[in-house]
Every structure is written in structure tokens, then in C-alpha cells.
Amino acid sequence: MRVEMYGDITCPWCRLGAHQFHRAVREAGAEQDVELVHRPYQLMPDAPDDPRPLMDAAAELFGPEQAEAMLTGMTQVGAREGVEYRFDRAVAVNTLTAHRLLWLALNEHGPAVQAALATALFDAYFRDGVNIADHTRLTDLAERAGMAGRRVRDFLASGEGFAEVREQVAAARREGVTTVPRFVFGNGTQIVGATGTEALRDALGLSAQGVHRDG
């Protein structure tokens, strides 16, 4: 069974939603039966390629007090769920390059490697303060996920995947995706937002029932 998740690497709710999804799969004992495919979405497609502190970017968008309250609240939510957010370390940057790498992982290695890379990218961004547009750091993350370093370096230095990823992002917007994370199950069920492990586990069960009936 394949489930698609639309999200952006710099979206804290996407990081939480992916964590909850993987936990739901484990609790359902469905690790061998479920594939999660990450589909690209950019919350800020015009974000600059040069990194800067996320705290500064958030303060400009929401105002210093509101930004601090939002990020503090998100840190507390993450702690309760077992997700570590270090917004004081995070650097805001355009995510197109990271999405290209996820596209490559899916096309050449499949959903399992892509999911491992997505988790590594989330942790790198939200926990470790990594510039997720930096080719050297991306190559290191990709190698740890099981991808070949030389292929990744050549890919990142090329124009490969730019048009495809941009079209996927545009297609998501045309299809009405405006809020992420968005999980799309095989039976047509959609779950929008980080709604919790139980809701995802229930959706997995209903989708599996549909698969069995169709089979």
C-alpha cells in the first residue's frame, strides 16, 4: 500500500506528521506493507538560496513576539511527541534543491530510501542547524541514506530534476493543495495536518481493507 505525503522540509508540522505516520505504521505492524512517498511542496518558493537564521526570518514574517511564541509552542509539541526542534540553530533557505534530491532518491532507489532521506533532512534542518541547500551537506545525508555519493554530487551540480520538481509543486497547487502535511491514501482518504498517530493508524486500516477487497 502506497501513501503519498505532500510537504516541505522546512515545515515543522510536516516533520511532526511524518514522525506520527511512521509511528502509526509501526503500531499497526505494517512496516512491510506500507510505502510512504514524499511529494514536493514549497511553502515559500521565492525564499532566497542564501541561508539565514530561521529566527530572523520568522520575526520578519510574524513579528518578534508572535514568532517566539509560535516556535516555543512548536518546540513543546515536538517534545511531547518525541521530536526535537532546535529553532535557535535552524537556518532558513530555499528548499528546491532538497526536493530535487528527494525526487532522485525516489526515482532511483525507491520509497524506503526516500523516506530515510526525508527523515535525515528533517533532523538536519530542525535539530542540527544544517543548510539543506548546501551540496556537500546534502551529499553526506544522501550517502547515509544509502545513495551513491558520486551520483548525488553530479546530480546536484546539474540541472536534472529542476523542471520535474517545479512541475510537481505546481501540480499540487493546481489540485488544491494549500496546507501541508497532506496524506493521500490509496482509497482516496486525505488527512490534512499533523492530526495524531491514531487518526493515521485508522486511515491505514481503512485503506488496507479497501486494498484487500479490491484484491
Domains of the chain: 2-214 (3.40.30.10)
Which residues does 54 contact at the CB level (< 8 Å), separation at least 6? 10, 87, 90, 91, 92
Q: Whole-number mean pLDDT of the chain?
A: 95
* pTM summary value: 0.94
What's the rounded Cα separation, in Å, for the pair 175 and 24? 27
Mean per-residue pLDDT, 104-112: 98
pLDDT above 70 (res 179): yes
Chain Cα centroid distance, residue 150: 24
pLDDT above 70 (res 45): yes
What's the rounded Cα separation, in Å, for the pair 30 and 201? 10
What's the rounded Cα separation, in Å, for the pair 9 and 96? 10
pLDDT tens, 132-151? 999 999 999 999 999 999 99
Count Cβ atoms below 10 Å from residue 14 Cβ, excluding itself: 24
- SS3 of 166, please? helix
- SS3 of 44, please? coil
- SS3 of 65, please? helix
Q: 127 and 86 in contact (C-beta within 8 Å)?
A: yes
Question: Which DSSP letter does residue 139 get?
Answer: H
Backbone phi and psi for residue 6, each to the nearest 5 degrees, phi listed first: -90, 130
The pLDDT value recorded for residue 14 is 98
pLDDT tens, 49-100? 999 999 999 999 999 999 999 999 999 999 999 999 999 999 999 999 999 9
pLDDT above 60 (res 213): no
Sorting pLDDT into bands at 50, 70 and 90, what band is 203? Answer: very high
What does the angle CA 112 – CA 209 – CA 31 come to, to the nearest 5 degrees? 25
What's the rounded Cα separation, in Å, for the pair 135 and 87? 22
The pLDDT value recorded for residue 210 is 63
